[in-house]
Structure formats: C-alpha cells, structure tokens
Amino acid sequence: MNKMIVFIGLLLVVIACNKASEIIPELPELFEGFKQPANFPAPAYNVAKNPISKEQFELGKKLFYDARLSRNNTISCGSCHIQAAGFTHHGHDVSHGIDDQLGTRNSMPIMNVAWNKAFFWDGGVADLDLLAIVPIENPVEMDEKVPNILKKLQGDEQYHALFEKAYGTSAITSIRFLKALSSFMVMATSSNAKYDKVMRKEGADFTQEEEQGYALFRSKCANCHPEPLFTDGTFRNNGLVPSAVNDLGRYDITLNPLEKYKFKVPSLRNLKYTAPFMHDGRFLNLEGVLNHYSSEVVDNGTIDPSLENDDGKLGIQLTAKEKKLLLAFLETLNDESFVQNKLLAE
C-alpha cells in the first residue's frame, strides 16, 4: 500500500511538471548580440574588431562583477557602477574606492558607451578597450595592476574554461581580459525609454506637458545635449563655482589653458536613477541643476559661449513653469528596462 501511495505521488508530480511546462514555456536566451537601435546613429566603437559573442559577453560580465580586480579583492567595477542606479555609484557625490578612500569625481554611468569617443569627465581615455586600466590602477579606486589580476585569474580553473569558451584557448592575456570587459560594457545599451518609443512610433505619445517640455528642450538645451544620445560628447565649462579640490577637468589632460574647468557633457538619459549630478556630484536633484543654469552660472574664465546672453547675463533663462515642463520631458528619458535588464545583472 505504501509503495502504491509513493508511486501515485510521483506520478502526480510528473503530471504537474508537464502541465507547468505547457503553461510556462522555457525562457528564451537573453543574449542577442549587439544591436544598433533604430533611432540611434552608427556606434563609434568598432564592433567588427571585437565581435561580441555570448561567451565573450559572459566572461566580461563575470569580470565586471569580480572584486579580484582590486588590490585587496574588495572592489569590483560593479561596486561603483550599480545597475539599479543606471550603472553609477548610487547616492555618492564622488566614488568610494579601496580602503574606503574617496575619489574626486562622480562615477559616470556605464551606458551607451559604444557611442562614446572619449571617456571619463576629462576624456583621458579615447579607446573603450583601454578604459578599465584607469580605475584598476587608480590608487583610490581599485589600486591594482593588470599583470597581478591576470595571475589571480590564471589560478582559477573556472576562468580558464571561460576564456577557452570565449577565445578558443584558455590563455588569459591582457588583451583578452580588456576586450571581454568591453564586450560587457558595449551591451549596456539604454534605448527603450518613452522618448525612444515615441520617436520609433511604437505606440507611445508624449503628454501635452511632455510635448511642451520637448519643444523647450530643443530650443534651450539641445545645443549641448542633442538627440538621441543627449550628449554631444564634447567638453564644456558650464559655469560651476570651482570645487574645493579645484578640479581643472580637461586641462589636466591637454594642459591647454583654454580647457580649464571643462568637463565632458553627460547624457541626460536615466537621470531618475543617477543622482547626484555634475562631475563632483554637487547637486542632489534636477531642481538644483536647473536652478544652477537659470541663476547660478559664474564666469571662471572659460565659460561656454552658449551660456553667454546678449544682455550680459549668464546661463539659461528659465521660468518656474519652464522648469516644470523640462522636468516632465526629462522623465521620458528614463529607461526602466535598462536598470532591470537581467542580461546585465550580477
């Protein structure tokens, strides 16, 4: 009798599992390779020189979230680039690195990097495949050397298997290491905000307030933040009072006095997730940013001409109503699917 009960129980489990598989189909593969969104220009990154396979992407993802990339194995790339925060360091004005040390700049988002020609607030790196070296070797970020990382990885059999899947052999080299990280970052594409769906005519429409904000944006903001990336990738002085550390921005790279206090124009996508704002994270919210442009811009010697007005005033003249309309439009640039994309999750 007991054997019969066990048999019937097992039979019911099998039947239930079969029915469940009929109701809940197996999830499709998330990885579909790098794709250029229909409303985006051609990427700056040459994908042909680094074809992104599923295996190479998975290797890059594991590396991105591996704390062994830091000297004492405590800080990963994902520590300062958190997906839920649009791949920025949530709530931190400047990045927090190894041994609780503080950097001097706000973490820029890992987002749409395939369309970038220069990286970091000062544009100190012009090749995505070399980007990771800077935070890895920065003494207040990860404070490690690439050769040391390779030794750590070479002692891990799992990495030997992953490198072999990605590249055909198990050799763990610096070029493969860096290109794998690029493969992960290139796949961090944000292109499914409401704005994108409106532009691609995918059944979405702006509200009246968003439409008015869009028109206002195009007349007052698009010079530095053109669509669809909402950055022109240039370096500009937007009239901030110099910070206590007197960060000179682009000047530190070029040593050109005309580039003092110039910083890279950031994208305006996903601002809902990426506060605080500016290169030093001085503004906690977008209201603070708009107030800066409307009434707090200062001329510190290299002010961007777009912020100089014929009447001698600096900044972008905005009424309270116009600020509200701009905020409504900026809300349409938030891409919830990006911060919840399981493909990119740790």
Residue pointed to by tokens 């990605």? 166
96 annotated ligand-binding residue:
no
- φ, ψ of residue 102 in degrees (nearest 5): -105, 140
17 annotated ligand-binding residue:
no
Write the single-letter amino acid at 116.
Answer: N
77 annotated ligand-binding residue:
yes
Report the b/e string of 172-198 with b at 16+ CB within 10 A. Answer: beeebbbbbbbbbbbbbbbbbbbbbbb
Contact predicate 185/34, CB 8 Å? no
Q: Please give the DSSP secondary-structure letter assigned to residue 108.
A: P
64, burial (CB in 10 Å: exposed 0-12, middle 13-18, buried 19+): buried
80 annotated ligand-binding residue:
yes
Whole-angstrom Cα distance, residue 288 to residue 281?
Answer: 11
Contact predicate 289/101, CB 8 Å? no
Local structure of 255: helix, strand or coil: coil
225 annotated ligand-binding residue:
yes
H-helix segments, the chain:
2-23, 54-64, 77-80, 128-131, 133-137, 146-154, 157-167, 174-186, 194-199, 208-220, 251-254, 286-291, 320-331, 336-339
Could you tell me the sign of the dihedral formed by the alpha carbons of 141, 145, 148, 154, in that order?
positive
**What is the number of other CB atoms lying within 10 angstroms of the CB of residue 84?**
11
Partners of residue 283 on adjacent β-strands:
277
160 annotated ligand-binding residue:
no
- Residues annotated as binding site? 77, 80-81, 221, 224-225
The annotation places the binding site for heme c at 77, 80-81, 221, 224-225
